Chains A and B, each alone.
Chain A
Amino acid sequence: MTDSATAESHLDPARVAAGSSPGRDRRSRRPVPKVPFLLLAPAVVMLAVFIGWPLVQLVIMSFQKFGRAQIFGASPEFIGLGNYLDVLTDPQFWTVLGRSVALCLVCVTATMVLGVLIAVMMKNLGRTMRMALSIALLLAWAMPALTATIVWGWIFDTQYGLVNFFLTKVTGDDWTGHSWLIDPVSFFAVAAIIITWGAVPFVVFSVYAALTQVSEEVLEAASLDGAGGLRRFRYIVFPSLRPILVVLLILQIIWDLRVFAQIYALQTIGGVRAETNTIGVYIYSVSMASGDLGSGGAIAVILVVILLLISAYYVRTMLTQEDS
C-alpha cells in the first residue's frame, strides 16, 4: 500500500514536467490526493506494529538458537536453517501435520456442507422459525471456544456424561465409564463435532446473506423454463454464491488448520497429548512447554507458509474463474 503511494507521488511530477498533453492522461492533471493516504496511514502503522513486527520477530527467531537461556537474557546465536532442518527431519512433525490436515479436511467439509444446507433451509422457512433458528445459531456462535469445549466435555464425560447415559439406555450395553477422549480416533471425532458446531453458524449467516442477493427474477424465469429446484441451485444460485463460498472455504481452512483452544482444552479434560497434538497445540508445546522458541518459530513459519499457499491457490482459481 505504502509502496504504490510513494511510487505514484514520484511518478506524477515527472509526468507534469514532461508536459504530457492534457486530457490524454487524466491523472497528470489532478495532483495525487494526499488525504486518503494520510487517512490510511494510522491503520497501516497500527497493522505494521501489531501484526508486522511480531511476524518479523517470529521469522528472525526461527533462524536462531532460542531456548530457555535466551529467554533469560543470553544473546541468541544465528544457526541459519538449523531449526528448519531439525523440524523437517522430525517424524513427529509430519505426524502432527498429517493429523492436522486430516482433522481440517473433515471439519471444513462438514462445516461447509452443513452451513450451505442450513442456509438454504433458512431461506425457505417461515418467519418465526427463521427467527428462532437465527437466535439458536447466534447463541452457538457467541459461545467462546473454550467454554464450548468444557461444556461438550461434560456432555461426553466418562462418568456423568449424557452421551454415555443415553447410549447405555438405548443399546442396553453398559457405556458408563467409557472414555471418549482416551482413544485418538474418538478424541478427534469429539473435537470435530465441537469445531464444526462452533463454525457452522458463521457459514450459515454468510451464505444466507448471499442467498438473499440472488435475483428472484432470474430464478422465476428459470422455473418458467422448466428448471427444477436442483438445477436452479446448480446453475443460478451456486454460481452467484461462489465468491463468498471461496472466501468462507479459505477462512475455514485457515481457522481449522491452526485450531488451538478446542484441542488444548480437550487434552486437559482427558486426552493423551502426544497422540492428539495438532499443529497449533504442537507449536505451543514445543515453544512454551519445552522452551525451544527457535524450533517453535520454525514450525510456525512453516504453518504460515502453508496457509499462504492455500489462500494464494484459491484466490488464483477464483480470479481465473471470474475472468473466463
Chain B
Amino acid sequence: MNSRARRSSRRALLNVAALFVIVCSVFPVYWMLNTSLLPASVIKSSTPHLWPDQATLRNYRSAISDEAFIAALRN
C-alpha cells in the first residue's frame, strides 16, 4: 500500500515535470500564434494579452494580400 502510494506520487511528480517541459517548449510557438492574431494596438498595450481575446484575422489578410509575400512564397 505504502509503496503504491509512493509510486503514484512519483508518477504525479513526473507528470508535473513533463507538463512544465511541454509548456516551456510550446510557449514561444503559442506566443507567435497569439501575437499573430492580435491587432497592433493590443500588442503594444501595457498589459500583455495572454490569449487572443481580441482575435482578428486582419494580420493574415494583410499578409496574404501583400504582393511581396506572394512573390516570396512563389519563389
In contact, A140 and B32 (Cβ under 8 angstroms):
no
Query: Which residues of the partner chain A approach B48 to less than 8 Å between Cβ atoms?
Result: 160-162, 165
A200 cross-chain contacts in B, Cβ below 8 A: 25
Closest to A132 in B: B22
A137 and B18 in contact, given A147-B32, A154-B31, A160-B48 (Cβ under 8 angstroms) = no
B17 near A121 with CB under 8 A, answer yes
User: How many A residues face the partner with a CB closer than 8 A?
Assistant: 29
Size class of the contact patch on chain B: 20 to 34
- Residue interface bits A159-186, CB-to-B below 8 A is 1, else 0: 1111001000000000010000000000
CB of A121 within 8 A of CB of B18, answer: yes
Task: Looking at the assembled complex, report how far the CB atom of A284 sits from the nearest CB atom of chain B, in whole angstroms.
Answer: 22
Cross-interface CB contact of B26 among A118, A122, A140, A155, cutoff 8 Å: A140
* Cβ contacts B1-25/A at 8 Å (1 or 0 each): 0000000000100110111011011
B interface vs A, CB < 8 Å?
Answer: 11, 14-15, 17-19, 21-22, 24-26, 28-29, 31-32, 35, 43-48
Cβ contacts A to B, 20 pairs, < 8 Å: A121-B17, A121-B21, A122-B18, A129-B19, A133-B18, A133-B21, A133-B22, A136-B26, A137-B21, A137-B25, A139-B26, A143-B28, A147-B32, A155-B28, A160-B43, A160-B44, A160-B48, A162-B31, A162-B48, A197-B25
